[in-house]
Every structure is written in C-alpha cells, then in structure tokens.
Amino acid sequence: MFPAWNPAQPEITDLIVQHDPHTHERLPVRKQELLEVFHRFNNRQALRAVHSLPEKAGVLDDRGIDALLLTVHWEMQRLAEEFYHGHRVWQLLRCVLASIRQAGIRETLRVADVGCGTGYTTRWLAANIPLADYNIELLGMDLNSVLIAEANRLASAERLPCQFFQQDAFSPEHSSHIFLSTGVIHHFRGPALLEFLRRHDQPDVQAFLHFDFQPWFLAPFGSWFFHYLRMRTAIARHDGVLSAARAHDARTLTEAARATAPRFAAGIYGAKIWNTPAPRVFHSLIGLRRNLVPELRRQLGRHATRLGELR
Amino acid sequence: MRLLSLYLLALLDGLLCGLRASMGRCPLIRKRGYYTRASIRGIIGAQIISTLALIVLLLTAAFSTYRDALRADLEVAATHMLWIFLPYAALVLFNLGLRLLPSTDIRSATSVFMLGPLTAIRPLVMVAGILYGISASRLLATRLLALFILVLMLSLEFALNYRAGRAQSLQIRLLV
C-alpha cells in the first residue's frame, strides 16, 4: 500500500495544532517534530505538505496555520454539502428524537456536536429544522479556538439558533442528551476510542450518533479521486484520503461501544445502499438507551432495514 | 445555428466553471445568492471569451478573400464539435437533474460517480471536441480560430479559480 495511506500514522491536522488538555491553551508546535513523524512512515506526500507549512524559527506560525485550517474546513464543508450530510444526520436524528419523546422525556433536548470544527452539521440543522417544534437545543464543541470562533461567526452571520464552545464535549458544564459527530471517531484509536465511548455513559445521555467513513478496500481509492478533484490544499487531500484508510470498521466500533457503554444498545446504521452489498461512503455508530430501541425501529419505518443489529 | 449552439454551450460551461470555482470557498449554509453571483461571473467570463472569439472571427472574415468558404468550413467544424460537446453537456445536465430527486443516496451518487468524473474529463472533452472539429475543417483560419477558442476556454476555469482563491485568502486573512 502507499505510505500516505498507512493507517498507523496520524493525520497532519492532528498534529499542527496542539492544546493543553487542561487549560486548552495553545502550545507551540515544532515543524521538525512533525517531519520526523512522517519520516518514520516514509510518507513523502505528508512531508511535502508539512515542509510548506508557515513557520517562524522552526515553530509553526499560529496565524498561518489558523488560516490554513479555516481554508481546509471551508473545503471540507463542500464535501459535506455534496454528500447531503445535513439531510442524512437529520433523517436519523429525527427518529431518535421522536423515540426519546415517546419515552416520556419532555424537557428541552440538548444535541451536542463533538469535535464540530466550523460547525457545519449543527448550523445546517439550525438553518433547516424548526428547533422550537422539536424543543431541542444545538451545541457544538471543539478544542480549537479558531474553528469555534469561526463557527460562532458563521452562526451569527446567518442568525442561526445554535452555539459553539471551546471545551471538552463531555464536561458536565454543558451536559447533553444526544452526542453526534462527523469524521471524528477515527481520530480516537485503541484505548482512546474506548475512553471516548466510555465518556458517553452519563445520566442525561439518551443516544449518540457518530458518522464516519466506512472502510472497505476501494474507499481510499475513491477518496483519493474525490479529494483530488474537489479539494485544493495539500493537507486536505492528504488527510482526507488517510481518514478513509484509518476509519474504524463496524466491528471495532460496536465492540468498543458495547464494552464501554453497556447501558446503551449499540449498532451500525446505514452501512449498505438500499440493502444491496454496495457500502455507503459514511456509516454511523449509533448508541441508544435500551428502552428506546423498539420505538426507534418504528420511527425509522422503511429505513429500519438500514439499522444493523442493535444490542 | 450550429455556431449559436456552440455559443450557448460555452455560456453553460462558463456558468458551471463559475459555480465550481466558488465551491468550498464560502462556509455559510444559505448561499443561493453567493452561488448566483458565482454563476453570473462564470457566464460573464464565457461571454468575454465568446466576444473575443467573435471579434477574431469577424476580423478574419473581413480580411479574407474566401468569406463564403470560411463560413461553410466553420459550420462543418462546429457540427463536428457538437457531436462531442452536446452529449457531454446532456450528461452533465441529466445528472444535475437527478439531484432534484428526493433521495440523498441518488443525489450524492451523482457527485461521486458522475459529476466528479465529468469535471475531471472536461479538459479532455474540450480538446477532443476541438480536434474533432479541426479534423473536419479544410481552412487554416478555421483551425487557428478553434485552437484560439480552446485556449480561452481552458483558461476560463483557471482564471475564475484564481480570482475566487484570492478573494478567499483575503477574507480568511481578515479572520485570523
């Protein structure tokens, strides 16, 4: 396989911005350290991309990196738009919300977008869903202050009823009822994946929906072609394809969820297109309080066949 | 009529180039106005190219001693070009039309399986269409004119991308 597709390595965007896990303050990142990471994987494509990053005396230039990150996230939004990701999230979220209501929970439901970036999913929902009718509140959380500032700027520019916070999504400060994410879960690997899913097990949480690439042998090729056509920055092209190679398979996700969040029934939604063997580009790990499962199947109607084994 | 068809196809191509150059550069959710402006920019670009081509054509005709032969030769070349360009345009429009269907799978499949690859082969289609037109023409003036238009059309997306990229960089620089 090509070195740039080796799933053992991190993505460039995982490394170019570092935050103190406790204070969330930004930490300096030395370019040489990044180069050494990708040297170890003989990943020349990543090395070229890292070489071109703006720096000052060997340390990545915060301003230049922030500009690059925004450019990449604007581009990534284009992919979400082309995949009608907002519609897909809403198709499932609507049924999950209805199941929760059917169980007698009447309070305002908080939906938190974990690792929201510039908040496309949350802003799409805020722009297209009558939140008052569903009595839901939309929040987005990310550790990157620049992306959060941009998400809030965009929400404010379009007067969208949603808010974004630079913080750990699982902190008790904004306890939520539903956690969702897009393209985030593959960043957690090994013990970190288990810890990520374990943290969903909070008293208020009713469900979680984590959308991510679905791995299969053609995924990196398809992703390469699509990113080559649609993305303009070297980092987006590199990381987009690597994401497809690093994506967790259904078994890894469901086993991790069942082991660490046993109070939830966990399974995969939307793995195949129209019940054919053809896989969807994205699938989603869904976790649900066990009492909600029969109602979710009912709410999904003809789409219930998209739901795999939920246990 | 055939030259008019080519002109209309050039405007359609300009519109789509304008759209593509603008995509991924505006992170708002509601951006019908943004895309409308981008499409108009593309159409204007294609119109400028068409006008330039027309000026060159008129100048060629004005100084030509074989005006009727030139006109007939252009018609023949245009007919051949349409054999390539019309099916391509029809395929693009058909896939754009499919996006009206209320199925997220079909809509996104048009992007992945059709519109993406169709975008990728656009330069090849341009070259193939022009070469096919040239192959049927007998006059050097027609061939040079066709090559001139090819260069302009291939430059259009580059120019629109360059402009959109600069505007985006400027906007992002103000944000960070």
Domain boundary among A32, A47, A71: A71
Nearest CA in chain A to B119: A229
Domain that holds residue B80: 2-175
Closest residue of chain A to B171, computed from CA coordinates:
A67
Residue A138 lies in a domain: yes
- Name the band, by pLDDT with cuts 50, 70 and 90, for residue A275: confident
The answer to whether residues A138 and A205 belong to one domain is yes
What's the whole-number average pLDDT of chain A?
A: 94
Distance from CA of B80 to the nearest CA of A (A): 29
Mutate to test the interface with B, among A74, A164, A283 (most CBs of B within 10 A): A74
**Is the domain of A118 the same as that of A192?**
yes
Residues A165 and A205 in one domain: yes
A55 and A191, same structural domain? no
CA distance A66 to chain B (A): 6
In whole angstroms, give the CA distance from residue A282 to residue A272: 9
**Same-domain pairing of A176 and A296:** yes
Number of domains in chain A: 2
- Which residues of chain A neighbour B123 with C-beta distances below 8 Å? none
Do the domain assignments include residue A9? Answer: yes
Q: Are residues A159 and A301 in the same domain?
A: yes
Over residues B29-48, mean pLDDT: 96
ipTM greater than 0.85 = yes
In terms of Cα–Cα distance, which of A110, A174, A172, A165 is closest to A141? A165
pLDDT number for residue B165: 96
Choose one of A11, A38, A71: the last residue of a domain: A71
In a domain, A262, yes or no: yes
Contact residues on chain A for B107, CB-CB shorter than 8 A: 84
Domain match, A54 and A164 both: no
B29 closest CB neighbour out of A75, A123, A231:
A123
Q: Is residue A135 part of a domain?
A: yes
Domain CATH code at residue A184? 3.40.50.150
CA distances to A71, A93, B2, B126, B127 from B85, in Å:
34, 43, 12, 8, 10
Smallest Cβ–Cβ distance between A70 and the set B29, B108, B172 belongs to B172
Both A193 and A126 in one domain: the answer is: yes
| CA dist list (Å): B54 to A50, B3, B11, B51, B67 | 47, 10, 14, 5, 15
Same domain, A165 and A131: yes
Q: Is A238 within a domain?
A: no
Q: Give the bridge partners for A139, in sequence order.
A: A112, A163
Residue of A nearest to B29 (CA): A124
Please tell me the pTM assigned to this model.
0.92
Chain A residue with CA closest to B114: the answer is A226
Give residue A39's domain range. Answer: 3-71
How deeply is B4 buried, as exposed, middle or buried, from its count of CB atoms within 10 A (0-12, 13-18, 19+)? exposed
Of residues A77, A154, A226, nearest to B112 (C-beta): A226
Answer yes or no: is A225 within a domain.
no
Cα dihedral A258→A259→A260→A263 (10° resolution): 50
**Token pair for residue B42?**
């593309």
% of chain A at pLDDT higher than 90:
83
Number of domains in chain B: 1
Residues of B in contact with A123 (CB under 8 A): 29
The reply to whether A220 falls in a domain is no
Rounded to whole angstroms, how far apart are CA atoms A192 and A250? 17
User: DSSP string of A240-301?
Assistant: HHHHHHHPPPHHHHHHHHHHH-TTEEEEEE--BSTTSSPBPSEEEEEEEEGGGHHHHHHHHG
**Subunit contact B116:A160, Cβ cutoff 8 A:** no
Q: Is A160 exposed, middle or buried (0-12, 13-18, 19+ CB in 10 A)?
A: buried
A141 three-class SS: strand
Whether residue B173 and residue A67 make contact (CB cut-off 8 A), yes or no, is yes
Residue A294 CA to residue A190 CA, distance in Å, equals 31
Please provide the DSSP assignment of B22-73 as one string.
HTTS---S--HHHHHHHHHHHHHHHHHHHHHHHHHHHHHHHT-S-HHHHHHH
Amino acid A87: pLDDT: 95
Which pair of structure tokens corresponds to residue B167? 């505007």
Are B116 and A230 in contact (CB < 8 Å)? yes
Cβ distance of B168 and A84 shorter than 8 Å: no
Between chain A and chain B, how many beta carbons pairs sit less than 8 Å apart?
77
Sign, CA torsion A84/A222/A151/A210: positive
- Per residue in A184-193, pLDDT (tens digit) is 999 999 999 9
Where is the domain boundary, A13, A45, A71? A71
Q: Cα A87 to chain center, whole Å?
A: 16
A178-188 in b/e form (b: 16+ CB < 10 A) is: bbbbbbbbbbb
The answer to whether position A291 is within a domain reads: yes
Which whole number is the average pLDDT over A40-55?
A: 96
